[in-house]
Each structure stands twice: as C-alpha cells, then as structure tokens.
Structure 1
Amino acid sequence: MFPLLRFLILFTLLAPTVTAQEVGQTMRQWWVECDRLGFCVSDINGFTADYEPLTVRLQRSEEPNSPVLILLTPETLITSGDAVIFDFLDGSEPILRKTDTALYNTITLSEPVDSPLLAALMAGSTLDITIGFQGTRGAQTFKVSLDGAIDTLTIMDVAQQRLGRVDAIVARGAAPADSPSDIYPSLGAETGGEDMGADEGGEIIQDSGDGHMEEGPNGSYLDLIYSQDELPPEVVRYAAEDADCGDLTAPLNEMGAVVHRDQTARITYLVPCVIGQVNVAYYVVTHDPAKGSDYALQRFELPPAQNKPDRVTILNPQWQADQNQLIATRFGDVNLNCGAYEIHNWIVAEQRFELVSYQHKKNCDGPQMMPSDFPMEWSIGEMGD
C-alpha cells in the first residue's frame, strides 16, 4: 500500500464532485479520463529504438473490487503465447506475463489492486516492456515513461469514489469496497460553510459548502473547477481583457480549470481558453497574498533567438506542483509527432515564470514520439539567457 503523503500534496482532488463531471486531464506524460459513470482509462505511448509505437492503457470500471486492466497494443501482430516482460530498470526482478488471447491485436492483463506489477508501475520512473513476437520480428523492447502513472491512478480512485476504500489503487484504506466513501470531507461540512479561521499566511480559509475542496498539508489542495462562477472575478476578467478567450463556459465545461494552493498559500489558476483539434490554450493567474501579490496574469517567454513577445496563453500545460514547474507542449499536427516542449520554472522572488528549456521538432514526419524527446533548441543552462 502506498502512503497518502504524495497524493495529498500533489493531487488532492474533490471526491464528492468529480463523479458528476467527465474528467479529462494530462498528468505529466500520461492522459487520464473518466466518464460520468466512473469508467476510467489512462493512456501513454511507448516506442522501440526504431520508433514502433506501443499503446499502453490502464483501464478500470467503477464496480467494487474490479481489477485494473493493462492493455498493450503494438503495430506488430501478436499471437497467443507471446511472452511479455516488464523491466522497471531499478534492480528488481523483471515481471513476466504470457498472452492468452489477443483480441484486436491487444494484450489484456487483469491485475488486482495489490499486484506486484501495479506496485512497481506506481513506484517506477521508466519501464521497458519486451514482447516476444513470433516470426521474423522477434523480441522487441518498448520504452515507456512512468512519469505521471501514479497520478493518473490517483485520479481514478477519486473519480470512482474509492478514497480510503480497500479496493483503491493508491489511496487505500479500511473502508468497505461497496461504500462510495467520502473519507476526506470538505472543509465546513459540519459548519454550514462558515469561516474556518486563518492559515499561517494570514489568509482566511473558507468553504463554499459545495464539496469542491479537499485539503493537503497546511491548507494545500488541488481542485478542478467547471464553472466560471466558482472562479474569482479577478481571474475571469483576464479571459476577455488580456487572453482574448471569449466566453469561458465551453472550455471550462470541457476541460475544467486547475486550481492549486500550495503550503505557503500561493494559488495558481490554469484556465482553459481555446480548445483546438490537438492543442488547448490556457492562461495562468497566480495569487500570493503572503508576497503582497494581487491576482497576476502570467506571461511566458520564448527563446531569445525567436525575437517574439512574451505570450499570455500557453498550450497543454502540466503543473508540477512539487517542483514549482510548468511544462507546456505544442503539437504541430494530429499525429503528435512534431511541435515544441517547454519547461518554465516559478521564480518566487520575482513572482513570475522563467523559461529554462525549449525543445522543438519542426518536421512532422515519422511516428509519434514523446515531446520530452524533441530535439533541444535552447536551454538557459547551456546557452545562457
């Protein structure tokens, strides 16, 4: 069983309300989505050295004690009896599985929540999956990033209301599997939404009474907001005045705004603005009362050689709260095999984000590849500012 500390700090989501909304969210290298019935899937692509893709999917229904299904879909034809080896590159023994049947060229493995394979998947950082194809193709190894895997499984637990239940994957506890439990009740649940006092930064913590907030240490939380009525007016006004977003209703309903409050009382808002075919534009607002900061619209740099003004919106952002780091990915086409991958660090003293690296693949040819593998174009450490 994994401890809840990392879960509470990074991904403390709202158990009572997530199930009322469809969830779709990028979590580092993974994509996770859950429908309104609580059926959840999470996807990532792995690749061989010659760029053959392997789609890895984690899937779970909302039924109590349901297994976690691991689905592996390569391009090469799979046959019954092919061996599958999971090597987590951490010195532990690789885990071996055998294919039984391969429906639609997909290997399906059914794993209980306490299986060693799931435990290693949540704890690891990189995974090599070797499939022993029969015929001339032979054994092929696919490299898969596990950056975000535990986070997507946490969201599954939340969306399926398994927090603290015996059948949770990450946030496991002693509550019965057939109980849609709210193990972490929202602030003010017993006080009718009254003020809950001041935190260490002097900010009053209030609960709206709608069950949308779950807290981690020192008042930290991560929230998903689907209505602009739940966002501060100071955040909403930037949509029309500066970000040129127009009406936020549809983007919020589709994607939800990410709201993160850290342990110092700084709040970061990632608000969806425009939804395209493969890219979603967001604007970012920060509010840090302890630093005397009002609601500040953030601007994002490009490499100096591009000689372009800072941007108000950023594409497909991933907020890595534990590192005070925001990653943005711009895809150049629907095949997801070109574009840009940017890392921006939060500079506390200056209350702004600073571009620290920019990777760019101009040619939209070849197979899909991880954006983090795009060629490096500019780095503040190697090339200066």
Structure 2
Amino acid sequence: GPSPYTGPVGLPLAPPVLLASTSEVPDAVRREIATYAPDQCSEPETLAYPGQRYAVNDNFTLWEVPCFLGAYQGTSIFAITQNPPADWATMLSLPNPPALEGENNAQMMNPEVFAEKGLFISTSLARGEGDCGTYQVFRLMDAPGETLEFQLMEYREKVNCDGVQSEPSEWPLQFQPGE
C-alpha cells in the first residue's frame, strides 16, 4: 500500500528486481558488509529470499541484502554500487536522531521500500505483540563525494509495552528534522 509518511521524499528508484540467488550480490557489497557489519549480517545465504536491487539512475544501483529473519521480524542492509557493479560498494548507515547516543546502525528492521518516492520505513518491534518499538522513515539522498546516503525524516517510539496495539506510524513522534 501507500506510505503513511507524507513529508519530503527522496531520490526515486526503479521498481525492485528480485535476485534469483545470493550469488547475484556483488563481491564488493559482500566485502563491505563483512568489513563494517559482520555482526549484523553474517549468513544471508540461509534466508527465505536472496534480496533485491533497484536502479537509482544510470550510474548507481542500490542493493538490499537480507541479513536475519526471525519469528516476527527481519533485517536487511542496503549498499550502493556503480551501475554495472565493479570493484567498490558503499554500505549505507541509518542515522540516529540527535538525542540518541551510539553508533549508526546498518540494519533496517522489517524494511518497507517505497521505490517511486525514495522512502524507506524501518519498524523494530520490541516484542511479538507489536504494541511497542521504534518506527523510522528514511529518504535516499545525494551525498558529498558522488555517493548516496539515508536521511532520517521521522523517528517514532512507543516505549510502554502496554498490550494496546496501534499503527507504528501513529506512535509518539520523537524526532523530525527542522525545515
């Protein structure tokens, strides 16, 4: 369905192309994940599907590599290569809102990709009931150095796991960038 987010959009992507096997993930993407996120994406070959790719433009391809699939949520890592892929890749990190300390994460939880708007939604459920967790909206943007990056557009969090279910897009807003 349509994205519940109605703010500024990112770079539009071509529709996804489902990969036939994990062997289609470029070696440069695999090296990038092994170097910068080995603890977040260790066994993509054992997942339910091999991933997908999106043409960003004539120069870049965005790769979605599934990393973990659990009982009620899964993760993917996104990386950029030139088009066609050659010897380099850049793994995209997910920026935190300014108030949160710590390292940027590479894993997008339960990713939803809205290719035509360049939007990505990450929903991390704190438990299987789905009554609490975090909800983040990112947009894909040009970055310095002829590459791309994710920009955090919305961060919502419901801390109280109270058994009351609601749409994650309606959880309390914690961060939205200023205009």
Count of residue pairs brought into register by the alignment? 162
Q: CA separation of 1:320/1:373 partners in 2, compared to 1, >3 Å: closer, same or farther?
A: same
Which residue of structure 1 lines up, in the alignment, with residue 11 of structure 2?
none
Equivalent residues of 1:221, 1:262 under 8 A apart: no
Percent of aligned pairs with the same amino acid: 24
Equivalent residues of 1:300, 1:310 under 8 A apart: yes
Alpha-carbon distance between aligned partners in 2 of 1:324 and 1:276, rounded to the nearest angstrom: 26
Alpha-carbon distance between aligned partners in 1 of 2:35 and 2:21, rounded to the nearest angstrom: 19
Which residue of structure 2 lines up, in the alignment, with residue 257 of structure 1?
51
Quote how far apart the aligned CAs of 1:345 are.
1.4
TM-score normalised by structure 2 residue count: 0.80
1:361 and 2:155 are equivalent in the alignment: no
Quote how far apart the aligned CAs of 1:298 are.
0.6
Q: Within 5 Å, which residues of 2 pair with 1:53-64?
A: none
Q: Which runs of 5+ in 2 are unaligned?
A: 4-13
Which residue of structure 2 lines up, in the alignment, with residue 377 of structure 1?
174
Alpha-carbon distance between aligned partners in 1 of 2:20 and 2:132, rounded to the nearest angstrom: 30
Equivalent residues of 1:228, 1:236 under 8 A apart: no
Which residue of structure 2 lines up, in the alignment, with residue 223 of structure 1?
17
Alpha-carbon distance between aligned partners in 2 of 1:221 and 1:353, rounded to the nearest angstrom: 18
Equivalent residues of 2:154, 2:177 under 8 A apart: yes
Give the SS at the match of 2:99. helix
In our comparison, the structure showing a higher alpha carbon Rg is 1
Which residue of structure 2 lines up, in the alignment, with residue 345 of structure 1?
139
Give the SS at the match of 1:304. coil
Q: Which runs of 5+ in 1 are unaligned?
A: 1-145, 149-219
The answer to which structure, 1 or 2, has the higher relative contact order (CA under 8 A, 6+ apart) is 2
Which residue of structure 1 lines up, in the alignment, with residue 61 of structure 2?
267
Alpha-carbon distance between aligned partners in 1 of 2:108 and 2:158, rounded to the nearest angstrom: 18
Q: Within 5 Å, which residues of 2 pair with 1:161-310?
A: 220-244=14-38, 245-251=41-47, 254-288=48-82, 294-310=88-104
1:326 and 2:120 are equivalent in the alignment: yes
Equivalent residues of 1:346, 1:353 under 8 A apart: yes
Instruction: Flag as ranges the 4+ runs of structure 1 deviating above 3 A.
Output: 262-265
Q: CA separation of 1:365/1:225 partners in 2, compared to 1, >3 Å: closer, same or farther?
A: same
AA in 2 matched with 1:334: G
Equivalent residues of 1:283, 1:312 under 8 A apart: yes
Alpha-carbon distance between aligned partners in 2 of 1:346 and 1:288, rounded to the nearest angstrom: 16
Alpha-carbon distance between aligned partners in 1 of 2:20 and 2:92, rounded to the nearest angstrom: 21
Q: Within 5 Å, which residues of 2 pair with 1:33-52?
A: none
Quote how far apart the aligned CAs of 1:147 are.
2.4
Which residue of structure 2 lines up, in the alignment, with residue 317 of structure 1?
111
Equivalent residues of 1:226, 1:256 under 8 A apart: yes
AA in 1 matched with 2:118: N
Quote how far apart the aligned CAs of 1:226 are.
4.7
Alpha-carbon distance between aligned partners in 2 of 1:241 and 1:227, rounded to the nearest angstrom: 22
The CA RMSD over aligned residues, in Å, is 2.3
TM-score normalised by structure 1 residue count: 0.39
Alpha-carbon distance between aligned partners in 2 of 1:289 and 1:259, rounded to the nearest angstrom: 11
Which residue of structure 1 lines up, in the alignment, with residue 8 of structure 2?
none
